[in-house]
Amino acid sequence: MQLRTSAIICSMRAHGEHGAVVRALTPANGLLAGYVRGGRSRRLRPVLVPGNLVAADFRARTPEQLPGLTVELNHSRAGLLAEPLAASAIDWLTTLTAVGLAEGQPHARLYDALDGTLAAVEYAPSARGWATSAVRYELLVMTELGYALDLSGCAAGGPSDDLAYVSPKSGAAVSRAAGEPYADRLLRLPPFLVAGGEAADWGDILDGLKLTGYFLGRDIFVDRRRDALDARERLIDRIRRLV
Task: Tell me if 172 sits within 8 A of 155, measured CB to CB.
Answer: yes
For residue 225, pLDDT beyond 90:
no
Element (H, E) at 47: none
What is the C-alpha separation between 222 and 224, in angstroms, rounded? 6
First to last CA, the chain: 49
Count how many domains the chain has. 2
Amino acid 161: pLDDT: 87
| Model pTM score | 0.94
50, 89: one domain:
no
Examine residue 36 and state whether it is found in any structural domain, yes or no.
Answer: yes
CATH number at residue 114: 1.20.1440
Q: Could you tell me which of 171, 111, 120, 118 has the C-alpha nearest to residue 141?
A: 111
Amino acid 198: pLDDT: 63
Amino acid 196: pLDDT: 67
Examine residue 168 and state whether it is found in any structural domain, yes or no.
Answer: no
Examine residue 184 and state whether it is found in any structural domain, yes or no.
Answer: no
Q: Which are the contacts of 43, defined by CB distance < 8 A and separation ≥ 6?
A: none
131, 215: one domain:
yes
Residues making up the chain, counted from first to last: 243
> Chain-wide mean pLDDT for the chain?
94
What is the C-alpha separation between 235 and 212, in angstroms, rounded? 14
Write out pLDDT tens, residues 50-101.
999 999 999 998 878 899 999 999 999 999 999 999 999 999 999 999 999 9
Task: Tell me if 181 sits within 8 A of 158, measured CB to CB.
Answer: no
6, 104: one domain:
no
For residue 129, pLDDT beyond 70:
yes
**Containing structural domain, residue 210:** 79-151+189-243
Examine residue 166 and state whether it is found in any structural domain, yes or no.
Answer: no
For residue 16, pLDDT beyond 90:
no
